[in-house]
Amino acid sequence: MGFFGCHLSASGGNTAMVKTALSIGANTFAFFTRNPRGSKAKKEDAADSEKAVSMLQSEGFGKLVAHGAYTMNLCTADAEARQFAAEILEDDLRRMAALPGNFYNFHPGSHVGQGTEAGIYQIAAALKKALAPGYPVTVLLETMAGKGSEIGGRFEELRAILDAVGSKDVGVCLDTCHVYDAGYDIVNDLDGVLAEFDRIIGLDRLKALHLNDSKNPFASHKDRHECLGKGSLGIDTFRAVVNHPSLKDKPMILETPNELPGYQAEIALLRSLES
């Protein structure tokens, strides 16, 4: 049985998220470590987190996939803003120690005209520093659609960040909408895309997936998520993904335009696709 879940609101605390996940048939989930479009983080509650950790274990959850704020751009051009983003990253990784052994995924960043090479260097520098304290969390870079000056739309760019960081403990989260929008044809050639991922990054680095259909056609570089089966990827793509031997054991997170009942229905749909 696969690990399926969706993004949940973190505002009620960690135990509340586990309970919500259970109520919609999820056995993993994602949450923003702070306001996704700002930087404010919730007050930490050790007792609540301890309870959540024991529930995650007793209920057999897969690894959680926390998500860094969209506003955290580690390669923004302004040095002060870049430093602020790096501090947010460090604080997020420290906070993840309350839920040890899970994943923290983030968008590598947009170089906003500085160039891909400079951006990769800045992202890697911030990551190296934030990883230094050795908190019990595995950091994941998300595959991006390649919109604007976004870094991470090409597997080679993610590889370059991993190389520059040097830590074997950094992985990748594959977003189905993003890779398709970026020009990796998982609709017609999932095996070919995974072979390329393996050649450039290594499948051992692939730790989690975001399952989203796309509102836009192949290679559009747009990044607009659609509900499963209602976009250009289609249900057969998700059937192939949830059953693929290289993918089926990974946590799979929905980021589709849904409220909880819609997520519950999509999780049930994903389970019905499993063979």
Catalytic residues: 37, 67, 70, 107, 142, 175, 178, 210, 223, 225, 255
Number of residues interacting with Zn ion: please give it, by CB under 5 A.
1
What is the nearest approach in angstroms of Zn ion to the Cβ of residue 49?
A: 28
Q: How far is the CB of 54 from Fe ion (least distance, A)?
A: 28
Which of Zn ion, Fe ion, none does 210 bind, CB closer than 5 to 8 A by kind?
Fe ion
Q: CB under 5 to 8 A by kind: which of Fe ion, Zn ion, none does 150 bind? A: none
Q: Which of 82, 210, 215, 250 binds Fe ion (CB under 5 A)?
A: 210
Give the C-alpha separation, 228 to 237, whole Å: 10
Nearer to Fe ion, 205 or 210 (CB): 210
At its nearest, how many Å lie between Zn ion and the CB of residue 134?
Answer: 30
268 CB neighbour count, 10 Å cutoff: 13
What is the three-state SS of the chain? CCEEEEECCCCCCHHHHHHHHHHCCCCCCECECECCCCCCECCCCHHHHHHHHHHHHHCCCCCCEEECCCCCCCCCCCHHHHHHHHHHHHHHHHHHHHCCCEEEEECCEECCCCCHHHHHHHHHHHHHHHHCCCCCEEEEEECCCCCCCEECCCHHHHHHHHHHHCCCCCEEEEEHHHHHHHCCCCCCCHHHHHHHHHHHCCHHHEEEEEECEECCCCCCCCCCEECCCCCCCCHHHHHHHHHCCCCCCCEEEECCCCCHHHHHHHHHHHHHHCC
Residue 223 contacts which entry, Zn ion, Fe ion, none (Cβ below 5-8 A, type-dependent): Zn ion
Which residue's beta carbon is nearest to the bound Zn ion?
223
- Alpha-carbon distance of 65 to 16, in angstroms, equals 16
**Closest approach of Fe ion to the CB of residue 67, in Å:** 6
Q: Does 150 bind Zn ion (CB under 5 A)?
A: no
Which CB, 61 or 197, lies closer to Zn ion? 197
CB of 132 to Zn ion, least distance (A): 29
Tell me whether residue 35 or residue 271 sits nearer to Zn ion (CB atom).
Answer: 35
Which segment (42-50, 71-79, 147-155, 255-263) binds Fe ion by CB under 5 A? 255-263
Other C-beta atoms within 10 Å of 47: how many?
Answer: 9
CB 175 → Fe ion: shortest distance, Å?
Answer: 4
Give residues with Cβ within 8 angstroms of 252, minimum separation 6: 2, 3, 4, 5, 28, 208, 209, 210, 211, 241, 242, 270
CB-wise, 165 or 182, nearer to Zn ion?
A: 182
| Binding partner of 95, given Zn ion, Fe ion, none, CB within 5-8 angstroms per partner class | none
Instruction: Name which position in 175, 181, 223, 266 contacts Fe ion (CB under 5 A).
Output: 175
| Contact string 201-240 vs Zn ion (x = CB under 5 A) | ----------------------x-----------------
Give residues in contact with Zn ion (CB under 5 A): 223
Give residues in contact with Fe ion (CB under 5 A): 142, 175, 210, 255
